[in-house]
């Protein structure tokens, strides 16, 4: 296999553009890509023609505008290149207009009421900063999706806006240090966790098929306590899947780099090489799609749900985030000279301020019914947002705030920002705090709260905009300073002191931290609706308005959609559970108990005591009685859901979920006593320890 040759072979990338486009056209497209300048119409025609030629050469027959509606998944509507010309001949055609603008019938995508009040239709617009690619013989054109009145209806557009916002402020900040760059990009590496289970088991479980997770299931005799799966040797069947996945991703220009087993049985991870935020987001969406598809081919089902199995580690998506200039300088790299160190400290301080001031937005960006099973449970980051900087950088920060000498490994000195050199920070993996939701890992931050099924756009919109805002405040202050170094020193000291409460190096899973965080005034929104209701708080709508990322109206629509999505997810789970209990679990258990009852009768008729038959029969019957009542109560509770999205969300969290948990307990109890041959669905041990 020739990887370099295969890599990106299905992508209309820079190399192809350079080969196929006239120099002037290429240059003008570059200006659009690098500086976000609008694209000329005649340029679009030429690019479209080249794209079509290239795509047809690769076997494509169709094209589609590929976009990311607010459901978080990707959407596409295929059109063929086929056209009939004036003479009735069939030709393959693709115009600049078709490339740059599309009109999908978008009426059934969620809009949170935005479209209803304005024009019913929406349109898609080409995002030339993300390369077009071929998938399933279709040329896919990454696009943004808006309404005709300009309100955004997707996840991509706000991401692009937030990238512009942070670029603008970071460019300003760099010029304070005498560096003049054209653009600063947020860079993302999204590590993707997932489960692979046998397709046969998957097909037999209504809960997995309809909700992505098991709603019932007693723990297997063996779980993950032996820790023998993490980085363990990979099953040959899984290895074959990974090889296939790599190949398909590479063709799409996705830099799949690392693949390994994760903590839980059947759990795995894929990490790509980082890229600019918008490209990384597209790549992650494609990665999830490819994982599902390729799993099918190998007789697997790929589970991207945050918590497919209770009592077993859930899946997240670590969002590694940094800032990079168009010249490739990583602004979160501490650097080696006093000046670079000072610049690093300014950016670091901006991130600390941003995460503290907008901790609620970060929490909201990862809120979903699925992720509620992870956050705050004892295996994933807590629902409290805090930053881990490690002992060494922590000591640097302490010494800046307290004005005391820094005691490093080799020397002890005062840290004067701008004149002294920072101690070399160790970039040691073992030093990392796995319990922290937001960890500095040497030259980037790793945000560990996003769920495995999430579109990472939302998280990065929040992060980019919040950091842009902090940088804006800093620049406003420092641009007018008489003595730059003195002002910089004062600002960093003051801001670090002010936001010190968000720094936490200890164990994020501990009960003490919850108390301590409360004392520090950090928010701790345990459930999705508790977090979501803060989305449109004035400080948040003001933030996004200031940086032209969202209008207040767009935010209100997004809130509505998120509440509704949550409420619907729980609703579907509850209804699925009722069906499984009534039509599978109860009938099977009752059949078993009636077998026992018959056995009691037969044995007693010949004068044999049937003590265990009787006892077991009574136990199963009693559990069934309680379970039937619970299923009825759950049904009533679901039927009593209020209309309004916010009320319905709280009804789901406060009432439906607790009832589901109670029903599950009863069902799981039955599972441990009912004859295996009667049990109607594959159990945890069967699913997790497949051969
Ligand atoms: P690990 O966290 O497993 O030790 P790495 O630190 O090498 O692994 O990288 C984890 C992820 O972070 C990878 O996807 C990598 O590409 C990404 N990453 C590395 N540097 C950056 C950066 N400057 N910006 C964004 N992501 C980055
Ligand atoms: Mg990592």
**pLDDT tens-digit map of 87-106:** 888 888 899 989 988 887 65
What does the pLDDT read at residue 34? 75
What average pLDDT does the segment 541-570 reach? 95
- Residue 160 · residue 278 · CB < 8 Å: yes
What does the pLDDT read at residue 263? 78
Q: How far is CA 308 from CA 200, 313, 553, in A?
A: 16, 9, 35
pLDDT grade for 422, boundaries at 50, 70 and 90: confident
Q: Is residue 613 part of a domain?
A: yes
Beta-carbon count within 10 A of 231 CB: 12
What does the pLDDT read at residue 638? 98
Q: Domain check: are 497 and 579 in the same one? A: no
No. of H helices and E strands in the chain? 25, 20
Task: CATH number of the domain at 73, please.
Answer: 3.10.20.70
What does the pLDDT read at residue 484? 94
**444 CB within 6 A, ligand 1:** yes
**528 CB within 6 A, ligand 1:** no
Task: CATH number of the domain at 606, please.
Answer: 1.20.120.1560
pLDDT grade for 225, boundaries at 50, 70 and 90: low
Q: Which of 424, 408, 405 is nearest to 416 (CA)?
A: 405
Q: Domain check: are 50 and 149 in the same one? A: yes
What does the pLDDT read at residue 289? 95
- Residue 189 · residue 280 · CB < 8 Å: yes
How do residues 585-596 score in pLDDT, each as one tens digit?
Answer: 999 999 999 999
What does the pLDDT read at residue 317? 96
C-alpha 84 – ligand 2 centre gap (Å):
52
**330 CB within 6 A, ligand 1:** yes
**Cα 112 vs. chain centroid, distance in angstroms?**
21
**254 CB within 6 A, ligand 1:** no
Q: What share of the chain is helix, strand, coil (3-state, %, to 5)?
A: 50, 15, 35
The number of domains in the chain is 3
Q: Domain check: are 454 and 582 in the same one? A: no
Looking at 519, 550, 581, the residue that finishes a domain is: 550
Q: Domain check: are 461 and 571 in the same one? A: no
Q: Is residue 203 part of a domain?
A: yes
Q: Is residue 278 part of a domain?
A: yes
Q: Domain check: are 97 and 200 in the same one? A: no
Q: Which of 24, 110, 40, 105 is nearest to 73 (CA)?
A: 110
- How does the average pLDDT of the chain come out, rounded? 91
Q: Which of 116, 12, 124, 110 is nearest to 77 (CA)?
A: 124
Cα angle 267, 272, 278 (rounded to 5 degrees) comes to: 120
What average pLDDT does the segment 566-587 reach? 98
What does the pLDDT read at residue 429? 47
Per-range mean pLDDT, top range of 48-57, 113-122, 380-389: 48-57
Percent over 70 (pLDDT), the chain: 93
Q: Domain check: are 346 and 474 in the same one? A: yes
3-state secondary structure 323-352: EEECCCCECCCCCCCHHHHHHHHHHHHHHH
Whether the predicted pLDDT of 120 surpasses 60: no
What does the pLDDT read at residue 346? 97
C-alpha 446 – ligand 2 centre gap (Å):
7
How do residues 493-511 score in pLDDT, each as one tens digit?
Answer: 999 999 999 999 998 888 8
Residue keyed to tokens 């009320």: 647
C-alpha 152 – ligand 2 centre gap (Å):
32
pLDDT grade for 227, boundaries at 50, 70 and 90: low
Beta strands in 128-229 (DSSP E): 132-135, 138-147, 184-198
- Higher-pLDDT residue of 38, 678: 678
Looking at 494, 522, 550, the residue that finishes a domain is: 550
Whether the predicted pLDDT of 162 surpasses 90: yes
Q: Is residue 556 part of a domain?
A: no
Pocket residue to mutate for ligand 1, from 274, 344, 426, most atoms within 8 A of Cβ: 274
What average pLDDT does the segment 302-319 reach? 95
What does the pLDDT read at residue 206? 98
Which pTM does this prediction carry? Answer: 0.93
Least confident of 367-371, 393-397, 533-537: 393-397
Structural domain for 659, as ranges: 565-688
What does the pLDDT read at residue 407? 66
Q: Is residue 558 part of a domain?
A: no
Q: Domain check: are 106 and 181 in the same one? A: no
Q: Structure tokens of 115?
A: 């479209």
- Residue 109 · residue 153 · CB < 8 Å: yes
Q: Domain check: are 205 and 113 in the same one? A: no
Q: Domain check: are 410 and 268 in the same one? A: yes
Pocket residue to mutate for ligand 1, from 249, 271, 427, most atoms within 8 A of Cβ: 271
Q: Is residue 398 part of a domain?
A: yes
Looking at 121, 153, 185, the residue that finishes a domain is: 153
What average pLDDT does the segment 27-32 reach? 89
What average pLDDT does the segment 11-32 reach? 93
Q: Is residue 387 part of a domain?
A: yes
Whether the predicted pLDDT of 50 surpasses 80: yes
Q: Domain check: are 590 and 657 in the same one? A: yes
Q: Domain check: are 92 and 139 in the same one? A: yes
Per-residue exposure over 415-428, b if at least 16 CB sit within 10 Å of its own CB, e if not: bebbeeebbebeee
Q: Domain check: are 118 and 199 in the same one? A: no
Residue 328, classified by CB atoms within 10 Å of its CB into exposed (0-12), middle (13-18) or buried (19+), is exposed
Q: Is residue 494 part of a domain?
A: yes
Task: CATH number of the domain at 392, please.
Answer: 3.30.590.10
**456 CB within 6 A, ligand 1:** no
C-alpha 443 – ligand 1 centre gap (Å):
9
Beta-carbon count within 10 A of 96 CB: 20
pLDDT grade for 392, boundaries at 50, 70 and 90: confident
What does the pLDDT read at residue 117? 45
What does the pLDDT read at residue 113? 64
How do residues 168-214 score in pLDDT, each as one tens digit?
Answer: 999 999 999 999 999 999 999 999 999 999 999 999 999 999 999 99
């Amino acid at each position: 296999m020739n990887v370099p040759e295969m890599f990106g072979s299905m992508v209309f990338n820079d190399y192809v553009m350079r080969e196929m486009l006239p120099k002037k056209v290429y240059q003008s497209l570059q200006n659009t890509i690098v500086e976000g300048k609008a694209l000329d119409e005649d340029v679009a025609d030429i690019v479209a023609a080249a794209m079509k030629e290239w795509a047809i050469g690769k076997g494509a027959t169709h094209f589609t505008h590929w976009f990311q509606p607010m459901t978080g998944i990707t959407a596409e509507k295929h059109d063929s290149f086929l056209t009939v010309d004036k003479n009735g001949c069939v030709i393959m055609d693709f115009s600049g207009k078709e490339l740059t603008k599309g009109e999908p019938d978008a009426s059934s995508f969620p809009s949170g009421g935005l479209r209803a009040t304005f024009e019913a239709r929406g349109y898609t617009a080409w995002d030339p900063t993300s390369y077009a690619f071929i998938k399933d013989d279709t040329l896919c054109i990454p696009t943004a999706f808006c309404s005709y009145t300009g309100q955004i209806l997707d996840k991509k557009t706000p991401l692009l806006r937030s990238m512009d916002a942070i670029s603008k402020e970071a460019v300003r900040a760099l010029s304070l240090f005498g560096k003049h760059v054209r653009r600063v990009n947020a860079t993302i590496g999204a590590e993707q966790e997932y489960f692979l289970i046998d397709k046969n088991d998957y097909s037999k479980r209504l809960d997995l098929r309809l909700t992505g997770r098991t709603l019932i299931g007693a723990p297997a005799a063996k779980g993950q306590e032996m820790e023998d799966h993490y980085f363990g040797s990979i099953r040959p069947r899984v290895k074959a899947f990974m090889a296939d996945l790599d190949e398909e991703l590479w063709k799409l220009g996705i830099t799949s780099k690392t693949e390994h087993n994760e903590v839980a049985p059947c759990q795995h991870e894929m990490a790509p090489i980082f890229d600019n935020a918008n490209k990384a987001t597209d790549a992650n969406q494609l990665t999830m799609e490819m994982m599902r598809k390729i799993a099918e081919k190998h007789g697997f089902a790929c589970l991207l749900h945050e918590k497919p199995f209770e009592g077993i580690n859930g899946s997240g998506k670590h969002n590694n985030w940094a800032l990079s200039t168009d010249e490739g300088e990583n602004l979160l790299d501490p650097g080696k000279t006093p000046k670079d160190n000072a610049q690093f400290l300014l950016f670091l301080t901006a991130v600390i301020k941003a995460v503290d001031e907008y901790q609620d937005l970060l929490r909201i960006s990862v809120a979903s019914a699925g992720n509620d099973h992870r956050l705050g449970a004892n295996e994933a980051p807590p629902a409290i947002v805090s930053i881990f900087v490690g002992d060494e950088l922590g000591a640097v920060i302490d010494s800046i705030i307290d004005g005391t000498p820094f005691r490093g490994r080799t020397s002890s000195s005062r840290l004067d920002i701008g004149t002294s050199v920072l101690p070399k920070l160790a970039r040691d993996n073992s030093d990392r705090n796995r319990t922290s939701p937001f960890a500095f890992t040497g030259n980037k931050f790793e945000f560990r709260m996003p769920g495995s099924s999430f579109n990472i756009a939302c998280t990065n919109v929040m992060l980019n905009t919040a950091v842009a805002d902090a940088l804006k405040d800093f620049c406003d202050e420092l641009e007018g300073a008489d003595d730059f170094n003195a002002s910089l020193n004062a600002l960093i000291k003051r801001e670090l002191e002010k936001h010190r409460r968000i720094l936490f190096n200890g164990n994020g899973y501990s009960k003490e931290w919850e108390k301590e965080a409360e004392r520090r005034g950090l928010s701790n929104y345990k459930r999705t609706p508790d977090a979501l209701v803060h989305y449109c708080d004035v400080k948040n709508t003001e933030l996004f308005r200031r940086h032209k990322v969202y209008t207040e109206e767009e935010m209100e629509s997004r809130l509505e959609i998120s509440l509704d999505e949550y409420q619907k997810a729980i609703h579907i789970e509850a209804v699925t559970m009722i069906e499984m209990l009534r039509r599978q679990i109860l009938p099977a258990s009752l059949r078993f108990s009636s077998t026992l009852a018959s056995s009691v009768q037969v044995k007693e008729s010949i004068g044999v005591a049937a003590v265990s038959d009787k006892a077991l029969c009574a136990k199963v019957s009693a559990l069934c009685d309680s379970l039937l009542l619970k299923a009825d109560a759950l049904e009533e509770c679901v039927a009593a859901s209020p209309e309004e999205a916010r009320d319905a969300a709280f009804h789901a969290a406060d009432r439906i979920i607790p009832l589901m948990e109670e029903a599950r307990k009863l069902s799981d109890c039955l599972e441990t006593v009912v004859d295996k041959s009667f049990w109607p669905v594959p159990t945890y041990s069967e699913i997790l320890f497949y051969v």
